[in-house]
A and B are shown apart, each in its own frame.
Chain A
Amino acid sequence: MFNSTKAVIIFIILCTLLISLLISFIAFIIYRYQQKQNVFFKNMEELKASHENAMLQSQLEIQEQTFQNISQEIHDNIGQKLTLAKLHLNTLDMEDAANALLQIQDSVKMIGETINDLSDISRSLSSEIILNNGFIKALEFEVNQLNKTRLYNIKLSVTGDSIFMEAQKELLLFRIVQEALNNIVKHAEATQIHIRLHYCSSELVLEICDNGIGMVEGANIKRGNGFANMSRRANMLQGVCHVISEPKEGTTIKIEIPLYEKQQEV
C-alpha cells in the first residue's frame, strides 16, 4: 500500500511538473513564433522597400529613355519634315503660281504628317492608353504604329482568357515589349515580327519573335543593356525573361510573368 501511495505522489508531482512544462511550452511557442514573425515582417518591409526602390529606379530609366526617344524622333523625323516644309515655304516663287501652289500643298501635307507623328509619339509614350484601355489595346496600337512604317510585317496573337492586371504591372510589361521592339528596329534587321501573348491559369507568357540576324557572341554585349533592362523589369514582376537566339535565325524573347502574387518565402 505504501509503495502504491508513494507512486501516486510521484505521479502527482510529475503531472504538476507536466502542467508547468506545458504552460512554459505554450509561452515558449508564442514567444518564438512572435520572434519569427518580427523577423519575417522586417524582411518583408525590407523587400518592399527594395522593390519600391527598384520600381522607382526603373521608372526613372523609362523616363530617361522616353526623353531620348522624343529627342531622337524630333531630330530624325519631325525636325526633318518641318525643315523641309520651311524650305518649301522659304523658296516660294509667287510668280510661278502653279509651282508655288504645289509647294504650299506639299508643305501643308508635311505639316499634317508632322502633327500626326507628334500625336502618335505622344500616345506611344503616354501611359494613359494602358491605364484607359489595358495592355492588349496598347500593344495593338504599338503594332499598328510599326505596321504603318511598312518595314515590318508584324503580327499580334492573344490566346487564353486575358485578364486585367494592375496598371503598374501592365505598364512595366508594355515597356518590356517596347524595349524589345526597339531592339528589333535598331539591331535585328528583321522583316517579320510576331508577338504572342498566352494567358495560362497562373501565368502570362509573352513571346516576341523576329526573323532578323539573330545574335552572335559579340552582339550579345552590344544589345546587352536592353536585355538586362527587360530581364530586370521581368524580375520586378516576379517573372523571368529568356532570350533564345541563333545567328541568322532570328531572336525570340520569352517572358513568363505570374498573374497572381507569389508568396515570398523567407
Chain B
Amino acid sequence: MGKTIDYILFDLQCIAGLISFLLSIRLIKNDSIPNYMKGFFWYSIVCMIVIINNFIKSHLFDNFTFATVINNLSLIFHYSFLSVFIIKITPKREEIRQVNFFLIVILILIIYLLVTHNLEKHVYQAFSLSGFGLSILCLIYYYQLFNNLPILNLRKEPSFWIVTGVFFCMSIIVPSSAMIGYLKNKISEFNLIIIHDIATFSYLVMHVFFIKAFLCSIQQRQ
C-alpha cells in the first residue's frame, strides 16, 4: 500500500512539475512579467530534468543509481538558485547582507557532505541542511515583508507564493530528511516509504505553489 501511495504522490509531483514547466515556457516570451519570474524559468528546466530522472528510476529502472547521483548533485543547484532567488526578491535586501555569509557557510557544508558521502545513496544530511538554510531565508523574507511598506497584493504576488511554497516544503524536508537518515536502518521499508511520502507530498505542494505563482504572473500581465 505504501508503495502505491508513493507512486501516486510521485506521479502527481511529476504532473505538477510539468505544468509549472509549461507555464514558465509560456511566460518566458513576455516582457511584461517580473524579471525574477524569467529567471525562474531556468529553475523549472532543472526541476524538470530531476523529475524525468526520478521518473526513469521509479518506473523504468529501479537500480538506476545514476539518478540518485544526479539528485544529490542537483541539490547544490537547488540550494544556490533558491537562495539567490529569495535574496533577490526580498524587500530591501541590502539590509540583510550578513545573511549571505550564513548561506555560503551552509553551501560549503552541503558540498562537504556530498563529497564525503557515497553519491549513489541519498545524502539526507545535506538535504536537511539545505532545507534549514532555505527555511531561515524564507523567514527573513517574511520579516522584511512586514518591515517594509505593505504595498503588495500578497494573493496576487508571485514571489510570495514561491517563497511560501519553498518554506512549506523545506520546513517538512528538514525534519523528514533528518529522521530518514536516523531511522533508515531501524524501521521497515513500509514506514520508511510513509516518511518518504510526506517529503514527496511537500515537493508536490511546492510545485503547486509554483503553479500558483506562474498563474499570478499571467494574471498580472493581463
Q: Which residues of A contact B (CB under 8 A)?
A: 1, 4-5, 7-8, 11-12, 14-15, 18-19, 22, 26, 29-30, 32-34, 36-37, 40, 263, 265-266
B187 contacts A36, C-beta separation under 8 Å: no
B159 at the interface (CB under 8 A from A): no
Nearest-Cβ distance from residue A263 to partner chain B, whole angstroms: 6
* B215 located at the interface, meaning its Cβ lies under 8 Å from any Cβ of chain A in the complex: no
Task: Please tell me which one of the listed residues A5, A30, A32, A33 contacts residue B191 in the complex, with CB atoms under 8 A apart.
Answer: A5
Interface 0/1 of B142-153, CB less than 8 Å to A: 100110011110
A58→B154 CA distance, assembly (Å)? 39
16 pairs from A and B in contact (CB 8 Å cutoff): A4-B186, A4-B188, A7-B183, A8-B191, A11-B179, A11-B195, A15-B176, A19-B168, A22-B167, A29-B164, A30-B155, A32-B146, A34-B154, A36-B150, A37-B150, A40-B149
User: A33 touching B150 by the CB < 8 A rule?
Assistant: yes
Partner of A4 from the list B175, B183, B198 (CB cut-off 8 Å) is: B183
In the complex, A68→B146 CA distance in Å? 51
Q: Are the C-beta atoms of B145 and A8 separated by less than 8 Å?
A: no
What are the interface flags for B31-69 relative to A under an 8 Å C-beta threshold, 1 for contact and 0 otherwise? 000000000000000000000000000000000000000
Distance in Å: Cβ of B34 to nearest Cβ of chain A: 19
Contact for A266 among B149, B172, B188, CB less than 8 A: B149
Residues of A close to B73: CB separation below 8 A = none
Interface size class of B (residues with CB under 8 A): 20 to 34
Contact A4 B191 (CB under 8 A): yes
State whether the Cβ of B113 lies closer than 8 Å to any Cβ in chain A.
no
B contacts with A: majority SS: helix
**Do A7 and B187 have beta carbons less than 8 Å apart?**
yes
**Chain B residues near A34 (CB-CB < 8 A):** 154
Residue among A14, A15, A22 facing the most chain B CB atoms (10 A cut-off): A15
Interface of A is mostly: helix
B171 on interface, CB distance cutoff 8 Å: yes
Chain A residue numbers with a CB within 8 Å of B145 are: 29, 33
**Closest 5 A-B residue pairs measured CB to CB?**
A4-B187, A37-B150, A8-B191, A36-B150, A4-B186
How far apart sit A7 and B186, CA to CA, in the bound complex (Å)?
Answer: 10
- Within the complex, what minimum Cβ distance (angstroms) separates A261 from chain B? 13
Q: Are A8 and B154 in contact (CB under 8 A)?
A: no
A8 x B187 contact (CB < 8 A): yes
Give Cα A128–Cα B93 distance, bound, in whole angstroms.
45
The interface residues of chain B lying within 8 Å CB-to-CB of A14 are 175
Give A266 to B146 CA distance when docked, in angstroms: 12
Other-chain residue from A8, A12, A36, A266 in contact with B183 (beta carbon distance below 8 A): A8
**Contacts A30-B154, A30-B155 known; A22 to B168 CB distance under 8 Å?**
yes
Task: Chain A residues near B109: list those with CB within 8 A.
Answer: none
Contact A18 B187 (CB under 8 A): no
User: Are B150 and A19 interface neighbours, CB within 8 A?
Assistant: no
Contact present for B164 and A36 (CB under 8 Å): no
- Known contacts A26-B164, A29-B142; is A5 also within 8 Å of B187 by CB? yes
Any chain A CB within 8 A of the CB of B194?
yes
- Output the least CB separation between B158 and chain A (Å): 15
- Report chain B residues within 8 Å CB of A12: 194-195, 198
Question: How far does the Cβ of B145 sit from chain A's closest Cβ, in whole Å?
Answer: 7
Question: Closest residue to B191 on the A side, CB-wise?
Answer: A8
Interface of chain B residues 168 through 206 with chain A (CB within 8 A): 168, 171-172, 175-176, 179, 183, 186-188, 191, 194-195, 198
**A122, chain B: closest CB distance, angstroms:** 45
Residues of A within 8 A of B142 (CB): 29
- Whether A8 lies near B194 (C-beta < 8 A) is yes
In the bound complex, CA of A32 to CA of B154 (Å): 11
- Residues in B with CB closer than 8 Å to A5 are 187-188, 191
Q: Which listed residue (A22, A40, A263) contacts B150, Cβ 8 A?
A: A40
Cross-chain contact of A36 among B146, B175, B191 (Cβ < 8 A): B146
Chain B 118-157 residues near chain A, CB threshold 8 A: 142, 145-146, 149-152, 154-155
Distance in angstroms from B9 CB to nearest chain A CB is: 13
Is B154's CB under 8 angstroms from A15's CB? no
Chain A residue numbers with a CB within 8 Å of B188 are 1, 4-5
Interchain CA distance A77-B191 in the complex, whole Å: 102
Per a CB cutoff under 8 Å, which of A18, A32, A265 touches B172? A18
Give complex CA distance A37, B183 in Å.
46
